[in-house]
Amino acid sequence: MSRVPASAVAAVGLVGGYAVARWTKKRPLGGVVLAAAGGVAAREWREVGGGKVAAGLTAGYVAAFAGSHPLAKRIGAWPAVFSVAGGMAAASWAVTRAKG
């Protein structure tokens, strides 16, 4: 069985975490989705690229989440979430494509 690429998992984690938090009105529940997807992606990043790659991309994932908040004030919530999710997916793909 083939794996789901970590870039897709990370993007879905950011979008899904926001969607769950918004639609359930329970931010901690959205955080669970965000953290679970981040953990799955980090495990894949570690398997493909090693500890330094996993640490760097995990830091990028957290930065994307944090950066979506001020960005949302400028361009709106959904555009901000999709922007950071796309950026995170691109970064993950670029860093791991040669290693995988």
The 3-class secondary structure across the chain, one letter per residue, is CCCCCHHHHHHHHHHHHHHHHHHHCCHHHHHHHHHHHHHHHHHHHHHHHCHHHHHHHHHHHHHHHHHHHHHHHHHCHHHHHHHHHHHHHHHHHHHHCCCC
**Is residue 1's pLDDT more than 60?**
no
- The total number of structural domains in the chain stands at 1
Structural domain containing residue 44: 6-95
For residues 42-69, give the mean pLDDT: 96
Of 8-12, 44-48, 80-84, 94-98, where does mean pLDDT reach its minimum? Answer: 94-98
Instruction: Report yes or no on 100 lying in a domain.
Output: no
Instruction: Report yes or no on 74 lying in a domain.
Output: yes
The amino acid present at 54, given as its one-letter code, is A
**Is residue 6's pLDDT more than 90?**
yes
Return contacts of 27-33, CB within 8 angstroms, 24+ apart: none
Instruction: Report yes or no on 52 lying in a domain.
Output: yes
The amino acid present at 88, given as its one-letter code, is M
Instruction: Report yes or no on 1 lying in a domain.
Output: no
Instruction: Report yes or no on 65 lying in a domain.
Output: yes
